[in-house]
Structure 1
Amino acid sequence: MRMPKLSRILATLAAATMASLGVVAAEASPALAITNVCYNTSQAGPFAGYANQAASIWNAYTNNINMSQCGTNLMIYYTYGGGSYAVRYSLGNGYVVIDYYQAQQYSPLRIMTHEIGHILGLADNYNGNCALLMSGGSAGTACTNPYPHYTEAAAVDSWFRSASPGAESARVFSDSWPAAATVGAQR
């Protein structure tokens, strides 16, 4: 496509003026594709604030997602008993259930960030290492680290950089957090 003569003259004049002022025009680099993961805390009860904190953590540790309360890609619920878990329909879509009783034993922010990690594509890693978010409850009740390890965040970035929405099958992630001990039970 040819630029009209006047437009070419103005573009040349602007470039010459910028050069004489020492301004260097740089080519714009292509923007990263950022996927919005819209979450909803209307059913999260006492865990809504933890969901907001967990979303902020994921936003800070990743480059290719933006989590915000803008819809229902990710629903947050809570229950009394039965364990905390996540159900992922596809990358960035599903729901999280936080067990009120487990959140009395384990860090509720760690649980929330961990379960959202499943929705973002991460699997459990039961190695007991508190530095790894996806080690879940295997790190013990004293572990309160709610932050993904750089390798976990890099994996999420990688999947969202190359993701085609809905391209994967649904998965249920359960047993991330040991069930609350019953009275008299031995471990």
Structure 2
Amino acid sequence: MITRKLLRACAALLLGLAFLTGTGVSASAAPGAQSGNVRTIRYDTSQAAEFKAAWDEGAKIWNEHLDNVEFVPGSPADVRILADDGWPRAQPQGLGRGTVWMGRQATNEGHYEIRIASHELGHILGLPDRRTGLCTDLMSGASAGTTCKNPNPNAAEIAEVERNFQNGTTGITPGLVLTEAPALARR
């Protein structure tokens, strides 16, 4: 009897400590909600056409590099993913929310689909375009050329996203359409 009471008391104490320190794990989280220190961003590829696998891989790449953000497929979605015949672009509506497009014009010209997906998701994570022309810079986008197959963010880009979500800030204007179209690209 004493052992059972002691176990219950210890369990209650541990649950109370977890609640007070904020390290408890919720059974389910609302889309885009915080769960512990990880922000869950749900994305919907139901309109991504032939590019669904590229978007899933782009999300996986970010998940492998970030500690406080996780992309998961699901609905209702924070990020709507579409395919069309234009250039890739993103329209963030806030940190972790928005719409992204995979444009067939870029893929037909030879730009790497997974790099495009990862780059456009970078905009949803608050990163602006930085047309450095360097393949090591994910946010250099199309300026790195069609030979660039690097879909991974660099250390500075990863750190910026982590700071964005820690501070609730973004490096882009919500509602602004960011495009990779060479003639239309905004800096």
Range into which the TM-score falls when normalised by the shorter chain: 0.7 to 0.9
SS of 2:123 mapped into structure 1: helix
1:68 CA displacement = 0.5
Q: What's 2:177 paired with?
A: 172
SS of 1:95 mapped into structure 2: strand
In 1, distance between residues paired with 2:51 and 2:6? 58
1:162 CA displacement = 2.3
SS of 1:129 mapped into structure 2: coil
Quick one: which of 151, 157, 163 aligns to 2:168? Answer: 163
1:30 CA displacement = 5.4
1:177 CA displacement = 4.7
Change (3 A) 1:164 1:106: closer
Q: What's 2:39 paired with?
A: 35
SS of 2:177 mapped into structure 1: strand
Structure 1 residue 74 corresponds to structure 2 residue 79: yes
Structure 2, unpaired ranges of 5+ = 11-16, 24-35
Instruction: Please list every run of at least 4 consecutive aligned residues from structure 1 whose deviation after the TM superposition is greater than 3 angstroms.
Output: 27-32
RMSD (Å) for aligned C-alpha atoms: 2.6
- Ranked by relative contact order (alpha carbons within 8 Å, sequence separation 6 or more), the top structure is 1
In 1, distance between residues paired with 2:138 and 2:164? 17
1:178 CA displacement = 3.0
Structure 1 residue 144 corresponds to structure 2 residue 157: no
Structure 1 residue 102 corresponds to structure 2 residue 116: no
Structure 1, unpaired ranges of 5+ = 1-5, 15-26, 180-187
Change (3 A) 1:30 1:151: farther
1:53 CA displacement = 0.4
Q: Which amino acid aligns with 2:174?
A: S
Work out the percentage of aligned pairs sharing the same amino acid.
Answer: 34
Larger Rg: 1
Q: Which amino acid aligns with 1:65?
A: V
Asked if 1 retains the 8 angstrom alpha-carbon contact of 2:43 and 2:81, the reply is yes
SS of 2:129 mapped into structure 1: coil
